[in-house]
Structure 1
Amino acid sequence: MNTTKHILIAGCGDLGLRTAQLLLQQGHVVYGLRRSPPGPLTPQKKTASPITWIQADLCQTGIHTPLPEKISTIIYCPTPAQRTETAYRAIFIQGLNNLLGTLDTTWLERLVFISSSAVYGEHHGNWVNEKTPLLPLGVNGRVLQEAEQQLHTLPYETVVLRLSGLYGPEKQQLLERIRAGQTRVPRHETYYANRIHLEDAAAAIVHCLTLPQPAPCYLVNDNTPLPIDELYDWLASAMQVPCPPEGAPPAGIGNKRLSNTLLLESGFRLRWPNTKQGYTALLNEQRSNEQQV
């Protein structure tokens, strides 16, 4: 039996919007909190699902905007204003404290925190899972590791989702960079890229809200970590542009393959288990849209 929940998505950007639509389809009441909520619905979009928007800045101590009552679930998925330690701390540590200090948590049952695979660091191309020691290389991974540790001290049921690189209609930065010739790939050693389609990432969040006894943490990744040179060359070929030249691997990420076994064992099923299949569908959609213009 489906029980209606009041769910707050804090930091409701691309991923939050996708998640909200799935939750609204299930009949839940969904609130989307962000600094700049979308404008009023245009006449052409009156059929859009009714997210209740809350304009608030999580980084402000003592959020002054009235927050809804009877929130049973929080999905915490904000984006830092900058890629700096100050910005990451402001949103992922102080921001969560500000939210919980302002919200009436009487009804709060579960908090889902969207983290990143950046907490793992360098593992020389080996497989990692939820039990792998965390050795973040960059400031983003270090702050997220600290935020995760703080999260599990809270008096609520908490679930951490460590996402790999997102792609989808709303996340096309990699395709744009390859088209513009702005990417480099390591060719002297195998260095892995880990990806998850935005649609599957949102579905994984919703799935973890339904689990009666979730694990403390899940890796959210598709089934096919690929060598970066293989993935980027394949994308370049699919877009009919030159392959990227040789260069250094992305800094501060580390070389690893993310295992999604625990998530799959919990009953989750990916729509796009294969990265190339997901990107093929995305590129086909792009071409179809271009032909209609």
Structure 2
Amino acid sequence: MRVLISGCGYVGSALGLLLAAEGHTVFGLRRNTAALPAGITPVRADLSETLPPDVLPRDLDAVVFAASPGGSSDEAYRTAYVEGPRRVLSALGGRDVGRLVLVSSTGVYGQREGEWVDEGSPTEPGGVSGRRLLEGEGQVLGGTTPGVVLRLGGIYGPGRNGMIERALRNPPPDDGPPQYTNRIHRDDCAGALRHLLLLPDPGPVYLGVDHEPADRRTVAEWLAAHLRRDPPENLASPRNGARDRPGRTNKRCSNERLLRSGYEFRYPTFREGFAALLEETARPD
């Protein structure tokens, strides 16, 4: 299989290495191709600009769009998730590509009361980022190339300890309702994308999250026990706590459709993933 990974960064590079190890031919499109790992053929291009028709490799079997926004503004999300897919589709010029997979986000959901959400739940995001993501999804799913969307939860993994640091530094109030978080390890992001690329007849949309949408307090207490520390002090308050942060959602994302399709998680919950990350961080250089 010949696969182009457009926006070949943190997740895309992991996917590329996974595919290359299996003998697939992988092309990685990004501005700085020097950052691509060995085994991925570089394609130097800027997704914020019009792509020349001859910049994309020929005879592609699939394209994965895994770009990230260059910031949190509406313009950054529009450039990444609306203009980016549009430019790739235009540069393909109607070529017979078997599948286009878009890496999206659970940010398209705006639920705030701890509801369970799945692929059929209402997508009514409160912020512009979620609306731009939906706009990009519409382009991919409504185009002539068969499209698949993978909506990822919060991504963590090697080099990304932010979730652990935030959980220890700022646990939620003790007296508040559960504040659910949804996450997925970088390696499972890559694994799920590979799975959807090879799946004979995928559905249009999948949620990429692990098995447990965990309450923030549960995560903080597990980390404290794992690191043999005292439970974290309550640093948030009803006035400045995360539950009242504008735009913060509170939802439980289900990965049932992805599991039914046959994908098996390497890190089923935050416990396995965080433990592996902490062990790796503790190793001497």
Among candidates 228, 247, 252, match of residue 257 of structure 1? 252
Verify: 1:56 aligned to 2:45, yes or no: yes
Query: Where in structure 2 are there 5+ consecutive unaligned residues?
Result: none
Verify: 1:171 aligned to 2:165, yes or no: no
Deviation at 1:248, TM superposition (A): 2.3
- For 1:37, the aligned partner's letter is T
Deviation at 1:56, TM superposition (A): 1.0
Among candidates 271, 279, 284, match of residue 279 of structure 2? 284
Contact kept in structure 2, 1:71 and 1:105, CA below 8 Å = no
User: Which stretch has the larger CA shift, 229-238 or 12-21?
Assistant: 229-238
- For 1:113, the aligned partner's letter is L
Among candidates 180, 188, 191, match of residue 203 of structure 1? 191
Among candidates 239, 242, 257, match of residue 248 of structure 1? 242
| Alignment match, 1:43 | none
Verify: 1:34 aligned to 2:37, yes or no: no
Verify: 1:21 aligned to 2:17, yes or no: yes
Q: Distance in 2 between matches of 1:200 and 1:230?
A: 22
| Alignment match, 2:180 | 192
Deviation at 1:184, TM superposition (A): 4.8
| Alignment match, 1:137 | 126
Among candidates 258, 261, 270, match of residue 275 of structure 1? 270
Contact kept in structure 2, 1:162 and 1:220, CA below 8 Å = yes
Deviation at 1:122, TM superposition (A): 1.5
Contact kept in structure 2, 1:122 and 1:253, CA below 8 Å = no
Deviation at 1:146, TM superposition (A): 1.4
- For 1:196, the aligned partner's letter is I
| Number of equivalent positions | 277
Contact kept in structure 1, 2:151 and 2:208, CA below 8 Å = yes
Q: Distance in 2 between matches of 1:126 and 1:217?
A: 19
- For 1:267, the aligned partner's letter is G
Contact kept in structure 2, 1:237 and 1:243, CA below 8 Å = no
Contact kept in structure 2, 1:6 and 1:28, CA below 8 Å = yes
- For 1:256, the aligned partner's letter is K
Q: 1:65 to 1:238 in 2, by over 3 A?
A: farther
| Alignment match, 2:82 | 93
Percent identical pairs in the alignment equals: 38
Q: Distance in 2 between matches of 1:13 and 1:172?
A: 17
Deviation at 1:61, TM superposition (A): 2.2
Deviation at 1:192, TM superposition (A): 0.2
Contact kept in structure 1, 2:189 and 2:208, CA below 8 Å = yes
Contact kept in structure 2, 1:55 and 1:65, CA below 8 Å = no
Deviation at 1:106, TM superposition (A): 1.9
SS at match of 1:106: coil
| Alignment match, 1:146 | 135
Q: 1:146 to 1:123 in 2, by over 3 A?
A: same
Deviation at 1:266, TM superposition (A): 0.4
SS at match of 1:204: helix
- For 1:18, the aligned partner's letter is A
- For 1:136, the aligned partner's letter is P
Q: Distance in 2 between matches of 1:119 and 1:171?
A: 23
TM-score with structure 2 setting the length: 0.90
Q: Distance in 2 between matches of 1:21 and 1:88?
A: 27
TM-score with structure 1 setting the length: 0.88
